[in-house]
Structure 1
Amino acid sequence: MSGLRRVLVANRGEIAVRIVRACHAAGVEAVAVHSDADEGARWVRMADHVQHIGRSAAQKSYLDAEVLLKAAKEAEADSVHPGYGFLSENADFARGVRDAGLAFIGPPPEAIELMGDKATARRTAQSAGVPVVPGSGPCTDQAQAERAAADLGYPLLVKASAGGGGRGIRPVRDAAELREVLPAAQAEAQSAFGDSTVYLERAIPQARHVEVQVLADDHGNVRHLLERDCSVQRRRQKLIEEAPAPQLSDDARRAIAEAAVRLAEHVGYRNAGTVEFLVDADENFYFIEMNTRIQVEHPITEAITGIDLVAEQLRIGGGAPLSFDQDSVRARGAAVELRINAEDPQRGFAPTPGVVTEFELPGGPGIRFDTWIGPGDRVSPFYDSLIAKLVCWGADREQAHDRARQALREFRAEGIATTAGLHERLLAEPDLRRGPVHTTWLEHLLEE
């Protein structure tokens, strides 16, 4: 089906498990990689071939492009799937894979570069006729930022041009706060992304975060797979996602999806990507960024469309066309995803690495549980704290939420603290039960 023979999975954790399974379903061999800390992990045990790539620190293993390319060569892989995080949105890595004669199961490096710099992405979206939040061009010094802020008006967000995933963003309420925040924002951008350039963007009060999943192949097909609402966030990190976005008019859904496809076509996009928007109370929508990879929350799109996104990624990577047309994409029911992290909400969401002594999974109709964890596995302090994703489908939103609450009651993890209890409390909140919330709702709730 895919035209591929052997895929190196350049990632770890639940997404590595997910990709290995998709490879096997497509009749493709999977090569797992692992650091010292991940020896014997679930995705390693599942794979057809295994490559050790270095020490536990990510910089010495999963973020070392040279080591990953060497592993692909030694394993005689014909392609590389980067998953999400790590090097998934690194244009140099994608180019290195391509230059090595391998298929990169993701977008072309040129598209990654174009969308990776947020200020450039804004200008690109504007040129494609996609509305953007009023903002500035790149700001490299205080005077430039203050002039731009005076033109835009407050409140504003200071954003790292090379940022992504909710990182590198700081709110400012006035000129005095801008003078205080800008140097710290530039230092953070340099440290996190290797680029101190920032830009300013007008803050949209009580906005929803709505994103559109797109897929594009090498045969001129660009399709959207409806939208997701990702407004339940803490420090701009998503905790709960829903599909389709609740209480959004059909006109707004159609316009947002068409804008996402228009942008993907404009930049010559290939493979899976997500175009993200802010939506205000009047359903005006504004482009904020494009994530050039598979998303953590992709399972809820799979749940409502019946389309296997990773299988489609493999098809595209192997040169095949998409297996569906736009008219066949229809929402069936509703789905919600809860990100379960090894964090303690009672201690400021501090990570809780350690050995998992017990791990009981929920079940029943409409329940999917993506994880790499089992009893005896160790949650490492070296990597992201995400350990599982609980995905619940229902005939409607109410049933999906009811199933999620029941699944959380069945779930049990011992040896580490998790955010599962927080999810139980959030799903019981009247605001969330009634319908969509805005992106600062959870922050306000936690403060209260």
Structure 2
Amino acid sequence: MLEGFGETEEGVLEDASERERAFVGDRLAAGVSGPVVSFNPVIFCWSCFVNWLPDRVLEDTVGRAAVVRVVSREAMSSQRQRKGPANVKIVIIVMIRGCHWWGVWSLRGLANHDETRVTWGDLLAKELNHHQRRGDRGRLKRLTRAPGIAVAQSIHAGAKHTYISLATMYSITSLIPSSITLFILSVSLHYHIHIHKQGPFPHVSTLIKVNNYIYSVVSLLFFIALVCSSELVTKLCDLDVLHALRHFGSYVRVHDEQMRHIYHLSKTYEYIDILLVLATGGRIGWHFGFHHLTTPYLTYVRVLRNHTGWKLLAALNTLHHAFMYAYFGGVASFRPILPFTGFLQLMVGLVGEAVIVHTKNNSKLVEEAVVLWPHIVSAALLGMYFVLFAFELMALARRQKNGRGKVTVGVTGDLDENQGGIFVSRSELKT
């Protein structure tokens, strides 16, 4: 009845009621023409986080994002008569085991980048086989109770074309930011409650300053590496004096993929800023929060997956961060240049995406598939950064115009009028 479930088929069906087997059998015989889909936003959000906006997966699963919760009306009504949220247990079990198998297949894909595809039905089949080998009859019974039997068969029959392609998760680094995002959101909520009740953590201001200086130096070094890898700079380095610099640029160019992964992970590292600011009792502004939570997705889409022209924008961004984090660390002389470098990188990014979209859209190479969505996503995010950045600068100008003092730099994450000046929020001038 469940093709592909092998030896577990009898174990799956033996505890199901005759009514459920007859109902699901009729559905399968009819080709599962009309399963009732109960949309689960938790599973849908989890899918988006883990798969990082993959076009293939979203195309195939957006209509059945809660495929683990595909249940019949009859099964749902019978579930209400039982005690215990068996449906929730099934969702949690399949999610946990599914993530485990995703990790295994992703690691295998690192070696050969194959196009191995698995279905939600395969994930549940592995879960059932796992418990059968362990002899866990109790767990098997819980999995096969209503609406478990409907879930199992609907997954396999109704979602057997819902594939998860390793091409969308070709690197384990694509899974790291999704986990860190959820972790940061959880810990941030905890920090907010703790600070509200007990006050800021001690020595956090010193830690923020040290982190700012370290990130500023690393950003400057990465900027130099990107500049040295430019073909124009390599041609200008033919002199014997710059022979070593030329070799360094060639080395960086050869290891372009590693450089892109480092840049992507650096955006994940910036999540630490959120925790440090909250630990001082500071507030997270719209720009600060939106920027930090979305830049890893931007770099995944436009640096890891589609890296056309990534070095120019990355160089401008790392240069801006070198000045900005040094300013946040205490070098106030860098402040006048920050609005210029911030707007420069955003304008170059927006114009660059528009040029790439126009070029690809008018390309005469009809034999090649034209992929525009990464550039559209990138332009949308850069546009949001531009608007939020402009709003913050205007708010800062209004505060200065109202005579609230000379703006100086501090290490806190909020406005403070101590020492005869205003400590600029870390959310300001952040992009």
TM normalised by structure 1 equals 0.25
Structure holding more helix per residue: 2
Q: Which has the larger radius of gyration?
A: 2
TM normalised by structure 2 equals 0.26
Structure holding more strand per residue: 1
